[in-house]
Structure formats: C-alpha cells, structure tokens
C-alpha cells in the first residue's frame, strides 16, 4: 500500500472516530470526565490553531499524528463499553450523519486559544 493511501485510510478512521465521539458526547450515559475530554479532543482536532503550526515541516504534522490519537485513546478508556458500541452502531447505520455546527463552541475554542496566546505574550514581555 502506498504511503498516500495509508494516510487517506488513517484520515478516514480519524473522521469516523470523531463522529463516534460526537455521538458518545450526546449520550446521557457518558460520564462528565469523558464529555470534557471529548470536548477538548474535538476542539483540538477541529481548531485552526495547533500547538505546533502545520507549516513547520514534519513537527507540524507530528503533533496531529501523536496528540489526537492519544486523546482519542484516553477518551475511549473513559467511555462505558455499551455507550461506545451503541455509538458505533449509530454511525454504521447512518454514515452520512451530519456534523452539527455549533457556533458557540467554535467561538469558545477560538476564544480559549486567544486567551492562551495573550497570557503567553504577557508572560514573555514580563520576564524577557
């Protein structure tokens, strides 16, 4: 299998897992800790800002290849098996399930990143 095909398969799996996490998040049986981590995971996955910008060769993509799968694996460990299996069945029965666009969440993610940047810049100015 060619490297590009492997990357495409990996992206499809990641998209499917993100959809499963969205369904799990909406389930009332999901624990609060898992919901918070799902919110962080999906927020980081879809955020336009990364810890390491993507334009930096190798390192920019490496954070997405390491951080996101680790977050997803941690979330899966926190989710009850029955909830996760039900979410998989839901996605398999309705693969075209549309992503809900919640503009408030998108704005909160962007606001959180702006606050982090503000404090980082303030810290650098103060100590350097």
pLDDT tens, N- to C-terminus, the chain (128 residues): 677 787 678 777 877 888 888 889 888 999 999 998 888 888 777 776 666 666 666 676 777 778 888 888 899 999 999 999 999 998 888 766 655 556 676 677 778 878 988 999 999 999 88
Tell me the C-alpha distance between 42 and 25, whole Å. Answer: 10
Question: Domain residue spans in the chain?
Answer: 3-101
């Amino acid at each position: 299998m060619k490297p590009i095909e492997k990357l495409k398969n990996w992206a499809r799996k990641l998209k499917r897992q993100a959809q499963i996490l969205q369904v799990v998040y909406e389930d009332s049986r999901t624990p609060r800790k898992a919901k918070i981590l799902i919110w962080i995971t999906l927020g980081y996955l879809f955020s336009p800002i990364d810890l390491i910008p993507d334009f930096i060769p190798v390192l920019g993509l490496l954070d997405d290849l390491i951080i996101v799968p680790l977050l997803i694996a941690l979330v899966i460990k926190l989710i009850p098996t029955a909830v996760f299996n039900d979410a998989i069945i839901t996605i398999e029965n309705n693969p075209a399930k549309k992503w809900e666009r919640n503009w408030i969440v998108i704005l909160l993610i962007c606001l959180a990143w702006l606050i982090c940047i503000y404090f980082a810049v303030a810290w650098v100015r103060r100590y350097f």
